[in-house]
Amino acid sequence: MVINMAAGASEAELQHIIERVIECGFQPHVTRGAERAIVAAVGSGGSRAALEALKAAPGVEDVVPIAHPFKLVSRQTRSERTRVAAGGVVIGGEDAVVIAGPCSVESREQIFATARGVKAAGASLLRGGAYKPRTSPYDFQGLGLEALKLLREVREETGLPVVTEVMSTNDIELISEHADMLQVGARNMQNYDLLRRLAKAGKPVLLKRGPSATVKEWLLAAEYLLAGGNPNVVLCERGIKTFETETRNTLDLAAVALARELSHLPVIADPSHGTGRRDLIAPASRAALAIGADGLIIEVHPCPERAMSDGAQSLSLEEFARLMNGLAAPLRPVASLCAAEA
Ligand code: PEP
Ligand code: MN
């Protein structure tokens, strides 16, 4: 942190700040200019919050951070990229990983048909909600334990590791017995009690970005997991709230690249929730991979028009297979794009 003293600050006010910086656990480095002084607070053992409070001290104009508030998730702490293994599938390695499946597990037929279909098309993990965070209390809330049992059965048959959402600390143990990776949904990204408990759960976590969260807040949420002892965290950009109404959310692709720049953790994209429109899933998927995403999570349903949640953004099995074929094709080179415009 750098403390900028005001132009008219007195020597006594500057000395007071130097003493407070030491009390806060940092070493003060003072630079005196013609008009004003600045005090750099150096070190890692002290309290940032206490330094920030110095904004209220007499003679201080501003307190400006020079390092990121997250530490363990930062690439400054770990330069090599983290690989997260979920039921034997590595996320964050050479190959992009595709997680696919229904928004909600609805029935034995539905989850088995989906799992077989997405596996045949090349997905590496199966998603399926058992406990659903629905905006309305009157909407389908998920089959709970029944869904977890189906997910376990379908994993045994297909070999696809399973990702499912955990909404409450009360459910962590039960869900951990049935799933390979635990999803923290967008609405719970800042549920710190849940994050603290998931840090000790011994399962990899898929941490979705909150709809209104900044990248910094998202990475600080991941920091809770790492600081609590769980290094196996995959970040997921799933769209944020903006003024746009044609799409359900705005898929923030720059945030995918930025999160990979700031953090060593793998970052995947969710074009289903990120756009809310099945016609945009394929182009958004290609764009996410082009910008560096380590994988995708995509909603697929054997009959989207009958889906009990998120049917409008779910791909049919045929559409998903087509999307997977398209991802394997090379990206159009820039030169041909320019030629097309001319
Ligand atoms: C989901 O994955 O079905 C879901 C509810 O996602 P999000 O938390 O991103 O809305
Ligand atoms: Mn959904």
pLDDT at 337 over 80: no
Residue nearest to atom 1 of ligand 1 (CA): 103
Q: Which of 141, 165, 191, 298 to mutate to test the pocket of ligand 1 (most atoms within 8 A of CB)?
A: 165
Q: Say what the pLDDT of residue 342 is.
A: 44
Q: Please give the C-alpha separations between residue 60 and each of 34, 35, 46, 237, 299, in angstroms, as whole numbers.
A: 16, 14, 19, 38, 52
The fraction of the chain above a pLDDT of 90, given in percent, is 88
Distance between CA atoms of residues 112 and 172, nearest Å: 24
Distance between CA atoms of residues 37 and 89, nearest Å: 54
What are the DSSP E strand ranges found in the chain? 2-5, 27-32, 37-42, 60-64, 84-86, 89-91, 97-101, 125-127, 162-165, 181-184, 205-208, 233-237, 267-269, 295-299
pLDDT at 335 over 70: no
Q: Is the CB of 260 within 6 Å of ligand 1?
A: no
Q: Is the CB of 139 within 6 Å of ligand 1?
A: no
Rounded mean pLDDT, 153-182: 98
Q: Is the CB of 266 within 6 Å of ligand 1?
A: no
Sign of the CA dihedral with 210 first, then 294, 297, and 170 last: negative
Q: Please tell me the distance between residue 50's alpha carbon and the centre of ligand 2 in angstroms.
A: 41
109-138 pLDDT tens trace: 999 999 999 999 999 999 999 999 999 999
Q: Is the separation of the CB atoms in 35 and 14 below 8 Å?
A: no
Q: Is the separation of the CB atoms in 31 and 38 below 8 Å?
A: yes
Q: Is the CB of 225 within 6 Å of ligand 1?
A: no
Q: Say what the pLDDT of residue 61 is.
A: 97
Rounded mean pLDDT, 99-107: 98
227-275 pLDDT tens trace: 999 999 999 999 999 999 999 999 999 999 999 999 999 999 999 999 9
Q: What is the pTM of this model?
A: 0.90
Q: Is the CB of 133 within 6 Å of ligand 1?
A: yes
Q: 330 falls in which pLDDT band (50, 70, 90)?
A: low
Distance between CA atoms of residues 54 and 11, nearest Å: 16
Q: Say what the pLDDT of residue 336 is.
A: 57
Q: Is the CB of 208 within 6 Å of ligand 1?
A: yes
Q: Is the CB of 103 within 6 Å of ligand 1?
A: yes
Give me the torsion for CA of 281, 234, 102, 301, rounded to 10°. 30
Structure tokens at 10: 């007195």
Q: Is the separation of the CB atoms in 228 and 246 below 8 Å?
A: no
Q: Is the CB of 273 within 6 Å of ligand 1?
A: yes
Answer left, alpha or beta for residue 142, where phi above 0 means left and psi between -120 and 50 means alpha. left
141-164 pLDDT tens trace: 999 999 999 999 999 999 999 999
Rounded mean pLDDT, 181-187: 98
Averaged pLDDT of the chain: 95
Distance between CA atoms of residues 312 and 124, nearest Å: 23
CA-based nearest residue to 89, from 176, 169, 153, 158 = 158
Q: Say what the pLDDT of residue 303 is.
A: 98
Q: Please tell me the distance between residue 24's alpha carbon and the centre of ligand 1 in angstroms.
A: 41
Q: Say what the pLDDT of residue 120 is.
A: 98
Burial of 200 per CB tally in 10 Å (0-12, 13-18, 19+): exposed
Q: Which of 163, 208, 236, 250 to mutate to test the pocket of ligand 1 (most atoms within 8 A of CB)?
A: 208
Q: Say what the pLDDT of residue 333 is.
A: 61
Classify residue 302 by its DSSP letter: S
Q: Supply the angle between the helices 278-290 and 317-328 in degrees, to the nearest 10.
A: 30
Q: The tokens 């029935």 sit on which residue?
A: 107
Rounded mean pLDDT, 78-99: 96
Rounded mean pLDDT, 18-25: 95
CA-based nearest residue to 175, from 160, 185, 162, 186 = 162
